[in-house]
Amino acid sequence: MEAIKLLACLGQAPLGRLIHYRALSTAFREIKIKRDPGCPLCGDNPSITKPFTDKKDMIELPEITTLELRKILAEGFEGILLDVREQDEYMMAHIEGSELLPLSGWPASAHNLPRDAKYYVHCAAGMRSAKAGVWMLQNGFTDVTNVAGGMKQWLQEETQ
């Protein structure tokens, strides 16, 4: 409601205050918020001065489907197929030849990986592997591709 009031220029916005509402007792409490001079957005020397909209600063992670990965593996892939799921997920099902490096252990465990190898990174559905892939590209790895759909899609294709 307060955001709508602010956007519509209606009423008085509680700037610098937090309004706490307790529904069970229908009670309101107003808490004054002190300005943080070290805040990167509104402090004395803000480092965030505009919304992030510059696409050239964004890292684009290449992506392939599990069907494309199957074809690449069948042709004799000479790189690293990296599985970033957890150990228990890997034990239930994994792609033959994949190396397990759970995302929960990153970045410490990922620093030992060779930076010049070709990587295909996968997880259960593609979200964790995308996060790992972007981290890799930001940290000097040169050839990283995310596998969209991950193990869920891989296993679904095996039953079809």
What's the pLDDT tens digit per position in 37-51? Answer: 888 888 888 888 877
Task: Please check whether residues 95 and 72 belong to one and the same domain.
Answer: yes
List pLDDT tens digits, range 49-59: 877 665 556 67
Would you state the pLDDT for residue 16? 79
- The whole-angstrom separation of Cα 122 and Cα 110 is 14
- The whole-angstrom separation of Cα 60 and Cα 42 is 30
Would you state the pLDDT for residue 53? 63
Would you state the pLDDT for residue 52? 67
Task: Please check whether residues 154 and 115 belong to one and the same domain.
Answer: yes
List pLDDT tens digits, range 100-139: 999 999 888 898 899 999 999 999 999 999 999 999 999 9
Q: Which domain holds residue 39?
A: 2-49
User: Vertex 93, ends 110 and 102: CA angle to 5°?
Assistant: 15
Residue 61 pLDDT more than 80? yes
Q: How many domains does the chain have?
A: 2
What are all long-range contacts of 22-28, with beta carbons under 8 Å and residues at least 24 apart? none
- The whole-angstrom separation of Cα 141 and Cα 91 is 27
Task: Please check whether residues 84 and 117 belong to one and the same domain.
Answer: yes
Q: What's the whole-model pTM score?
A: 0.65
| Beta-bridge partners for 31 | 18
We report the CATH number of the domain holding residue 79 as 3.40.250.10
Task: Please check whether residues 24 and 79 belong to one and the same domain.
Answer: no
